[in-house]
Amino acid sequence: MNPVIQARELSRWYGMVMGLNNVTFDIPPGLTGLVGPNGAGKSTLIQIITGQLQPSTGSLTVFGQVPWDNPALLGRIGFCPEREGVPKELRPMEWLTGLARLSGLDPAQVPGRCEAILDKVKLSREHWSKRMGQYSKGMKQRVKLAQGMLHQPDLLVLDEPMNGLDPMGRQEIAGLLTEMAAGGASIVISSHILAELESLCRNILILNWGRILASGSQKEIRGDLKNWSEELSIQCDDPERLARHLFDARVLLGFDLDPAGGLLRIRVKDAPSFYAAWTGLLLGSEVTVYAIRSESRSLQNIFEKVTN
Amino acid sequence: MNASPNSSPPPPPPPAAPRESLRLAPAFLRAWSGIWLFTWRSQLSWRRAPWLLVCLLALPLLVWGTIHSPRGWSRDPLPLGVPANQVLRFSRRLDREKVTILDKDQKTRLIEVFQKEYDRAQNDGRANPALEMSEADQKALIEACHQRIQESARSVLDDRQFALFRTFNQEMLNTTETQVREPAWNRAAPFYYWLIPCYFFILLPLSCVWGCGGLIRDELQADTLGFLTTRPIRRAMLVVILYLCQAGWLEIMALAETLLLFGAGRLREIPALGSLLLLFVGVQFLAVLAWSALGLFLGQVSKWYLALALVYGLIVELGIGAIPTNINSLSLTRHLKTLLSHNAELEGLFQWSGSGVLFPAGILLLAAALFVGLAALLFTFVEYHSTAEMQK
């Protein structure tokens, strides 16, 4: 299947600040989660995908085309931004009507389409007559989602769409997105909370400090763990001695010492090789080990580990 | 390896349902109708209504309040002064010239003479069939008044006092006559002398720059620019449409303001308004287009667009525009003045030079097109994004 989005050596700076740092990835059709802590570069990437920013170097294409100032492509993309800003003086129907006209919808179809989409995002009709300045965060989120879906895009890009929604609202929106994906649309959804996306997206892209830390299906990401650092907590009688011994054996990427608690936390590069040599290393160190604990490898743990 | 229970990948989505068919045909007029809806609906809200009303009514109320009606103006049609003050001044003159000063009885009788003749002259003025007397008519009445005062004073003053009074009376006459103006211009001075230059060269430019300069910046500040730039429309076209809608709104507001201004002027019976109205509206139409385009361009250049507009005004409009060579054609106000000078009253008042209609009107339209083009070009190549992302 052809990727929907392709980035090659993509970088983006804001003056001296790095937004994205030389990233290369493909995003396949379907639901893809974009995960990373605040400042990871998610919004920058989303703004490049939706044609609001240009890459500083490298390239990014959506459906094989560059998004910047490309009306033909932008007609296939829907965007729901993270920030709460909506025109405060307008009512949702007025706003959607204006945006639908701007998108080039047939004027005869506009009112019906706007009503249908507001119903779809489950914004109660009693709120339609209110100006959006009076809306709660959750209601604004629904209207923003509605405007993104208004012109029935092939790719919907959502920046933190679950913000401000209650659990039931999140479930409703998740159901809506799944339905859209089932209808053939591709969806890129960002969040700084992995758990939100873990059950929704088959594909995940983990970002931090402008770099891609992992990408692919959840299965592929777990498989990649072999190449990632493994973290172990070891409780022993002389953590300092053990740390020195392991360091001399050149198997460590890093460690944290807690001599008072008799605790040593180590990070190793090649976990399988380390475990194979572990018994010999332990005997050679001549320390008494009381307990060894490996960190869990759920996506949440991985995410926390790689973004911490 | 432990895996949390919720970390298992989601099941594959159910089979694709057929998608609804929506055909997009982005076009200039459709896009314009969308942006126009945003423009007028955002402006016409109850929250903004008081501010809008204040803006619209301030100038007409000022005109109504500062300009006398012809009847009010003609209550004292002649600038004659106060009798007691005139007698006091004459008394001081006698004292300075070492002539016998006026006794109490003389003072009282002389004040009565002045009062009687001033009242008679003012009454004659009010009786004039024209609502507003010409300068010559006023001078004739004043001269007759002072002649009568002089004759009546003969019986009140002794010879030496009267000799000095003749000189004093002549001086009073001369002074009074210098204060005589064509009454219409005098009365309507706040409108013609003050309001029109202030409106065209200060208020209108500032309103337009303020209204159009923030078109992109305000959207950016409200975090709503992304909703517009992600639509299937070229960025340059988006800027042009935003400009046309905002300038259209400003044209409507300016037209309403003009009608209110001229309405207030009509209530105050300002002369020659009828011949000015069409020219006023036409020049205003061009001015709004040009100043709005300038505002749009400056707004794209910097968030300090109002300050930039002031610098532009000082350098180009006041500086270059005042240079007596062809380079002053760069000044937009110069072309507006050329157009306004087609009104005889304004030309007579300000001696604005220049002739022709097509050339200055063409230059104004060209300037508008140039500024909008530059703004569209900037928006095509320059990103406008919130700095919040950079601060993360």
pLDDT digits (tens, 9 = 90+) for B5-27: 344 555 555 554 555 567 888 88
Per-residue pLDDT, B71: 67
Tell me which of A53, A77, A83, A102 to substitute to probe the interface with B (most B C-beta atoms closer than 10 Å): A102
Task: Please give the sequence-ordered ranges of beta strands (E in DSSP) within chain B, or none if there are none.
Answer: none
Flag whether A202 is in a domain.
yes
Q: What is the mean pLDDT of residues B334-354?
A: 82
Q: Look at residues A82, A80, A78, A81 and name the one whose alpha carbon lies nearest to residue A156.
A: A78
Is B104 at the interface with chain A, CB within 8 A? no
Instruction: Give the lowest-confidence range in A194-203, B135-144, B374-383.
Output: A194-203
Flag whether A250 is in a domain.
yes
Residues A25 and A19: their CA atoms lie apart, in Å, by: 16
CB contact under 8 A, A152 and B19: yes
Flag whether A167 is in a domain.
yes
Chain A residues with beta carbon closer than 8 angstroms to that of B7: 198, 218, 298-300
Task: For residue A30, give both structure tokens.
Answer: 């379907």
Within chain A, what is the greatest distance between any pair of CA atoms?
82
User: Which uninterrupted H or E stretch holds A258?
Assistant: strand A252-258
Give CA B100 to chain center in angstroms.
56
Q: Where are the alpha helices (DSSP H) in B67-103?
A: 70-73, 83-96
Secondary structure string (H, E, C) spanning A160-180: CCCCCCCHHHHHHHHHHHHHH
Flag whether A223 is in a domain.
no
Q: What is the mean pLDDT of residues A192-212?
A: 84
Residues A100 and A106: their CA atoms lie apart, in Å, by: 8
Residues A38 and A210: their CA atoms lie apart, in Å, by: 11
Is B324 at the interface with chain A, CB within 8 A? no
Residues A210 and A264 in one domain: no
Task: For residue A123, give both structure tokens.
Answer: 């914004």
Residues A288 and A242: their CA atoms lie apart, in Å, by: 9
Q: Look at residues A120, A166, A160 and name the one whose alpha carbon lies nearest to residue A143.
A: A120
Instruction: Give the lowest-confidence range in B13-22, B46-55, B68-77.
Output: B13-22
pLDDT digits (tens, 9 = 90+) for A224-255: 655 666 778 888 998 999 988 988 888 888 88
Query: What mean pLDDT, rounded, does chain B reach?
Result: 86
CB atoms inside a 10 Å sphere around CB B261 = 24
| Residue B361 near residue B339 (C-beta atoms within 8 A) | yes
CATH number at residue A302: 3.30.70.260
Per-residue pLDDT, B390: 40
Query: What mean pLDDT, rounded, does chain A reach?
Result: 87
Q: Return all residues near B386 (Cβ < 8 A) that are at least 6 apart.
A: A83, B220, B223
Residues A73 and A93 in one domain: yes
Residues A210 and A294 in one domain: no
Length of chain B counted residue by residue: 392
Length of chain A counted residue by residue: 308
**DSSP of B313-362:** IIIIIIIGGGSSSGGGGG-HHHHHHHHHTTSHHHHHHH------SHHHHH
Q: Give me the phi and psi of B102, to 5 degrees please.
A: -70, 135
Residues A157 and A27 in one domain: yes
Residues A34 and A53: their CA atoms lie apart, in Å, by: 18
Task: Tell me which residue range forms the domain holding A289.
Answer: 228-307
CA angle A187, A190, A196 (to 5 degrees): 95
CATH number at residue A155: 3.40.50.300
Q: Which of A217, A247, A263 is the last residue of a domain?
A: A217
Q: Which of A183, A217, A251 is the last residue of a domain?
A: A217
Closest-CA residue of chain B to A31: B13
Name residue, tokens 């003053």: B157
CB contact under 8 A, B38 and A225: no
3-class secondary-structure state, position A238: coil
pLDDT band at residue B213, thresholds of 50, 70 and 90?
very high
Per-residue pLDDT, A124: 92
Sign of CA dihedral A164, A166, A169, A171: positive
Give CA B391 to chain center in angstroms.
43
Query: How many domains does one find in chain A?
Result: 2
Q: Is A24 left (phi over 0), alpha (psi -120 to 50) or beta?
A: beta
Q: Where are the alpha helices (DSSP H) in chain A?
A: 42-49, 71-74, 92-103, 110-120, 137-149, 167-182, 194-198, 218-223, 239-248, 271-285, 299-307
The neighbouring-strand residues paired with A289 are A236
Q: What is the mean pLDDT of residues A101-116?
A: 93
Q: Return all residues near B163 (Cβ < 8 A) that are at least 6 apart.
A: none
Torsion of CA B259, B265, B269, B274, to 10 degrees: -50
Residues A280 and A198 in one domain: no
Residues A106 and A201 in one domain: yes
Tell me which of B389, B390, B391 to substitute to probe the interface with A (most A C-beta atoms closer than 10 Å): B389
Residues A211 and A237 in one domain: no
Domain spans, chain B: 76-183, 188-382
Chain A residues with beta carbon closer than 8 angstroms to that of B222: 85, 87-88
Q: Which of A161, A194, A217 is the last residue of a domain?
A: A217
